[in-house]
Structure 1
């Protein structure tokens, strides 16, 4: 799994290098809107302590540096673990109907009855590939890694596979 995560980080780095040259294809595009995301999946894949994951996040539409958007949310698991987080994300829009999102965040983690990840501060980084509907809602498959970046005595980390549905904020509150 660490090899997969390393590959994701390398891809993310390449994404940002290309993005600085072609920022008009990213999240500051007129095709992007603020979104609320609802996710469900498997937390700690491949472990004896895997659990169901549910997540709610907010994805802002105000781009920083023309590419990065704020993201914040909360994850809970069936083992009563909770992770509240905030960070930055970037979208690569592929035509009208496909998007790849990359994000990195930091937040507070409580293990509940689940996996002890070694510290109460945990970093979450991930990638999501989604289909965009005409109304700008999305359905996507995501992969994330949660880790304390070795600030704790142990750093077992956890991988998360999730299915996400995002809906424009304007569709909820208008």
Structure 2
């Protein structure tokens, strides 16, 4: 996978910002639900399943326009790790009821250990997910993410994770 998920994040979030937020202030701060999340995923490298990943994330309690700050860290069963921060866009307007879609873009640092060579420490994690929100503020999301260095290194094979995430409100 190339930069498709990053492009989806940019297109959807900026379009939403122009249509929804700009009439009252494009990047005006507003409250957002702070959440702690736990995610378990299936890791794929060069189209082969190579293991599992555990991800822990935190969504800050404020957003600027459509962008909510999010931070996260993950570790695979091969000992590879990633830590980063970036933006999350979430929409409850495109799907009916308690359903939502979201996308994220997070630059971060990759620690290879026994994991695959992704071509350097700088790795961008972009994702697309769909989920359901519960009355208590918790969410369950199925997400697909791609990690790569965006061609900042000669080697750029990328890594994909298909995961399920539970997030609880704080």
What's the counterpart of residue 40 of structure 1? Answer: 40
Any residues of structure 2 matched to 1:10-89 within 5 Å, and which?
10-15=7-12, 16-23=14-21, 32-44=32-44, 47-48=47-48, 50-64=50-64, 66-89=65-88
| C-alpha distance in 1 between matches for 2:144 and 2:46 | 13
Return the TM-score normalized by structure 1.
Answer: 0.83
| C-alpha distance in 2 between matches for 1:160 and 1:92 | 22
| C-alpha distance in 2 between matches for 1:138 and 1:46 | 31
* Count, aligned residues: 161
* Contact 2:90/2:100, CA 8 A, preserved across alignment: yes
Gaps of 5+ in 2: none
* Contact 1:117/1:154, CA 8 A, preserved across alignment: yes
* Contact 2:46/2:157, CA 8 A, preserved across alignment: no
- Alpha-carbon offset, residue 18 of structure 1: 3.4
| C-alpha distance in 1 between matches for 2:45 and 2:139 | 24
| C-alpha distance in 2 between matches for 1:51 and 1:127 | 20
Return the TM-score normalized by structure 2.
Answer: 0.85
- Alpha-carbon offset, residue 11 of structure 1: 3.5
Runs of 4+ in 1 over 6 A off after TM superposition: none
Question: Which has the larger helix fraction?
Answer: 1
- Alpha-carbon offset, residue 12 of structure 1: 3.0
Task: For residue 15 of structure 2, give the secondary structure of its aligned residue in structure 1.
Answer: helix
Gaps of 5+ in 1: 170-174
| C-alpha distance in 2 between matches for 1:144 and 1:97 | 22
Any residues of structure 2 matched to 1:162-173 within 5 Å, and which?
162-169=163-170
* Structure 1 vs Structure 2 CA RMSD: 2.1
Task: For residue 54 of structure 2, give the secondary structure of its aligned residue in structure 1.
Answer: strand
What's the counterpart of residue 157 of structure 1? Answer: 158
- Alpha-carbon offset, residue 72 of structure 1: 0.3
| C-alpha distance in 1 between matches for 2:7 and 2:48 | 29
What's the counterpart of residue 172 of structure 1? Answer: none
Against the structure 1 CA distance between its residues 166 and 89, is the aligned structure 2 distance closer, same or farther, given a 3 Å change threshold?
Answer: same
